[in-house]
């Protein structure tokens, strides 16, 4: 299933229901915090890693995407009630999965040649022999994700999708 389909249909409601709910969401209530990616849907959670407010649909997508599924989401009363710029950033300690071959080692590296996460032992023993593999340290790569081409492409695609939705909304008779 494409990211676009997950984004639009993951909430379980029909597109018409979602669009209707979006149109009814007013921006006059200053106490309501709105989803930052969508703009006009009340937020149901706050991602302390991004940091941004998210609606129910965006939370579902956020929890599915490989890049964001381990982010710390604050929901309900744990969610801040003010704009992210006024929220003190939360420091999150990286949590790594354990290596299936070396149970005491964490998967902190990624072999780009074999497209697999690996621990220090795997890196030295399997993925760094004779410098044939390109191995990167995951926290260093993750730190630059938002400035990278994949993120920029995804952002561009989401902006195009948003423009299409706005275009389709203008043609819908309610």
| pTM of the predicted structure, to 2 decimals | 0.36
Whole-number average pLDDT of the chain: 74
3 state DSSP class of 173: coil
pLDDT band at 142, cuts 50/70/90?
Answer: confident
Task: Tell me the per-residue pLDDT of 1-52, one tens digit each, with 9 for 90 and over.
Answer: 333 333 343 444 444 444 444 444 443 445 678 888 887 888 999 988 888 8
Number of Cβ within a 10 Å radius of residue 129 = 9
Residues sharing a CB contact under 8 Å with residue 37, sequence separation 6 or more, in sequence order: 52, 54, 55, 58, 158
CA proximity to 111, closest of 144, 81, 135, 130: 135
Give the separation between CA 79 and CA 140, rounded to whole angstroms. 28
Q: Token pair 């956020």 is at which residue? A: 62
Would you list the domain boundaries of the chain?
3-91
pLDDT band at 172, cuts 50/70/90?
Answer: confident
């Amino acid at each position: 299933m494409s990211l676009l389909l997950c984004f639009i249909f993951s909430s379980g409601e029909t597109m018409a229901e979602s669009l209707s709910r979006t149109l009814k969401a007013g921006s006059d209530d200053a106490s309501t915090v709105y989803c930052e990616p969508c703009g006009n849907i009340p937020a149901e959670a706050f991602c302390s890693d991004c940091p941004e407010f998210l609606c129910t649909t965006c939370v579902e997508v956020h929890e599915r995407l490989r890049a964001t599924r381990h982010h710390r989401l604050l929901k309900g009363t744990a969610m801040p009630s003010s704009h992210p710029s006024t929220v003190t950033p939360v420091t999150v300690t990286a949590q790594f999965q354990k290596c299936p071959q070396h149970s005491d080692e964490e998967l902190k590296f990624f072999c780009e040649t074999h497209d697999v996460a690996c621990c220090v032992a795997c890196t030295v023993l399997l993925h760094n022999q004779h410098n044939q593999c390109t191995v990167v340290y995951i926290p260093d790569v993750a730190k630059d994700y938002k400035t990278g081409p994949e993120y920029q492409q995804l952002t561009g695609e989401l902006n195009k999708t948003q423009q299409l939705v706005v275009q389709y909304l203008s043609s819908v008779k309610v």
